[in-house]
Amino acid sequence: MSFFHNESLRKKLYDYIKLKINSGELRPGDPINQKEIFEELNISRTPYRDCMIQLESEGFVRIIPCKGVVIRELSIDEGMDAQEVGAALEGMACELAFYNARERSIPKLIELIARAEKCFHDNEPLAPNLNMEFHMAILEQSPNHSLVEQLIKMRERIYDFPQHATLPLLKWEKMFWQEHRHLVEILKNGTPTEFGRYMRDVHWKVQGREEYWETLLSVKPGTVKQYFERRRAYCEQERETNN
């Protein structure tokens, strides 16, 4: 009974911290106030410790011995690594989900697109989870549940960090929902390979969308370009060394 109780408290604290990070109430470098959490959530040290270990393993916090826990900053390298892995995983998951999603998910996907387009038409903000609803309507049809779990963790690495500026992201939303419509067309008339490739190579791509990714990752303009220049230089150096 004690184990399940502690698990419930750990999950409660995990959701609490993630919400504060995502909302920007807790920002990179901020300490987590252990005393305040104990009093507000009425939890003990065991679920607190277990939760902090989980958050550290997922890259959201840093545990400093004898000092406490602080919110980590997501570096450009970590963000781009997560983007690359996320693109590969979701492309694979879409291929696996293709036939199930074609049979079961199309009405839901069309409904979500209609809701998004109504928001655009009425100049209203999109519901916060509408984009994730669209993706999950496809991903939940994948027979490989471990793959989907890993993908969700990669998405959280990118999207659950606070964003310093959300307004510049809004101008990209129409384009992303146009791509969602194209994904539905591929689902209706295309092949699993086409479906996975479009998700991986188009919907997740960085080139041409550097501003979006720099805003999302809260880095300075030009940072993404510098990242790819460093990466190309490293690959060229490795190739010369091996030759």
pLDDT of residue 6: 61
pLDDT digits (tens, 9 = 90+) for 86-141: 999 999 999 999 999 999 999 999 999 999 999 998 988 887 689 999 999 999 99
Beta strands in the chain (DSSP E): 61-64, 68-71
Enumerate residues 6+ apart whose C-beta is below 8 A from 202. 179
Residues 139 and 57 grouped into a single domain: no
Residue 7 predicted with pLDDT over 60: yes
Number of structural domains found in the chain? 2
Residues 111 and 218 grouped into a single domain: yes
Residues 54 and 157 grouped into a single domain: no
Which structural domain, as residue segments, surrounds residue 158? Answer: 76-237
Angle at 159 between CA 135 and CA 7, to 5 degrees: 90
pLDDT digits (tens, 9 = 90+) for 128-183: 689 999 999 999 999 999 999 999 988 888 877 655 445 456 778 899 999 999 99
Residues 82 and 160 grouped into a single domain: yes
pLDDT of residue 5: 57
Residues 62 and 164 grouped into a single domain: no
Residue 20, SS3? helix
Instruction: Measure the CA–CA gap between 129 and 1, rounded to whole angstroms.
Output: 34
Residues 194 and 130 grouped into a single domain: yes
Residue 243 lies in a domain: no
Q: Which of 71, 95, 122 is the last residue of a domain?
A: 71
pLDDT of residue 169: 65
186-203 burial: b if 16+ Cβ within 10 Å, else e:
bbeebebebbbbbbbeeb
Residue 19 lies in a domain: yes
Average pLDDT, the chain: 88
pLDDT band of 42, cuts 50, 70, 90: confident
Q: Is the whole-model pTM more than 0.95?
A: no
Q: Which of 51, 71, 91 is the last residue of a domain?
A: 71
Residues 54 and 89 grouped into a single domain: no
> Could you give the C-alpha distances from 199 to 49, 148, 183, in angstroms and in order?
38, 14, 8
pLDDT of residue 53: 93
Q: Which of 71, 95, 116 is the last residue of a domain?
A: 71
Residues 123 and 222 grouped into a single domain: yes
Sign of the Cα pseudo-torsion (118, 120, 122, 123, in order): positive
pLDDT band of 4, cuts 50, 70, 90: very low
Residue 128 has what DSSP assignment? T
Residue 120 lies in a domain: yes
Token duo for residue 136: 């999950």
Instruction: Measure the CA–CA gap between 174 and 37, rounded to whole angstroms.
Output: 39
Residues 56 and 99 grouped into a single domain: no
- CATH number for 30: 1.10.10.10
Residues 45 and 160 grouped into a single domain: no
Residue 179, SS3? helix
